[in-house]
Amino acid sequence: MIVDLPNTTVSNISKSLVQIREQGGAVALGRVLTLVIQTDSENAETAIAAANAASREHPSRIIVLIDRAEGAEPKLNAEIRVGGDAGASEVVILRPVGEAASYPQSLVTGLLLPDAPVVAWWPNAAPEKVSESPIGKIATRRITDALSQSDPKAFLKGLSQTYAAGDSDFSWTRLTLWRAQFAALLDQPPYEEIKSVEVVGDMENPSVLLLGAWFRQQLGCRVVMEHRPDSVGVKAVYMVRLVRDGSSIEILRDQSNIAVLSQTNQPPKELSLPVRSLRDCLAEDLRRLDPDLAFEKVITSGLDLLLEEQK
């Protein structure tokens, strides 16, 4: 069900949500968080679709704040989606016009679920310092995507300087399966020191830089980065090789879902290593609302170590 509310107020939107619940169209019970999405009209539906899919694992109230629309008269247009149009959530879409967009925090605050954590997500252009932005100030977790910025590498470096507890980025989340594979492999014998790491991938993709920074931070060894353009636009990381004295571990992914593991004196094995969707990344970031300490170490120190050694 979709309810249009043209030229409305936050108070009227809140009353409409109550009326819809009383009529049995949606139930607020069981909502575990409020997800605030700040985006533009062009990318809003893609973000809403991902949030609706993730809400089946994390029932929530989704508030979508569309960037300011031009208009001489300030007003707020809104839309409420529930039931089959909202997954396991209720979606409130806010479209401020003119000066009505000047105070985004006031538009959102009156619609937050009481006593529930707030997660903010910028699927596209993000503020330079998300923790000090109007929406970022009210959020427990703040999710960005360096890959969707105009200059991903510059955004990543900026995030390393402005990081605050609770910041997260999909460029890190996309690496979860890679990190899990190598963590499991290094838990197996032989327990020998890793002498060097080679990472081959598209250096324009921030996930490649973060993976190299993670190895540099965790293993304390030399990390060699090799650029390989990603013509497909989805794989980013192509190959990773860990070198010991007399042996090596290598994972190569030249398909979207399958990678090949090669280890010294062992036959090659195929691994399931799929490219992660927007829904997968969002669902994972919503599973934990405490600060990601591993990401904090990589973004605040590991990235600088890597970039300094690559000069």
Residue 166 to residues 100, 117, 187, 192, Cα–Cα distance (Å) = 28, 12, 29, 35
Give the torsion through C-alpha atoms of 241, 246, 247, 252, to 10 deg. Answer: 30
Exposed (0-12), middle (13-18) or buried (19+): which is 255, by Cβ within 10 Å? middle
CB distance 251 to 260 below 8 Å? yes
pLDDT of residue 117: 95
Per residue in 202-222, pLDDT tens? 999 999 999 999 999 999 999
pLDDT value of residue 32: 87
Looking at residue 31, its pLDDT comes to: 81
Structural domains of the chain ordered from first start:
2-144 (no CATH), 170-311 (3.30.360)
Which pLDDT score is estimated for 252? 95
Give me the pLDDT at residue 232, please.
61
Write out residues in the chain with pLDDT < 50, as ranges: 25-26, 28
**What's the pLDDT score for residue 240?**
98
Say what the pLDDT of residue 309 is: 87
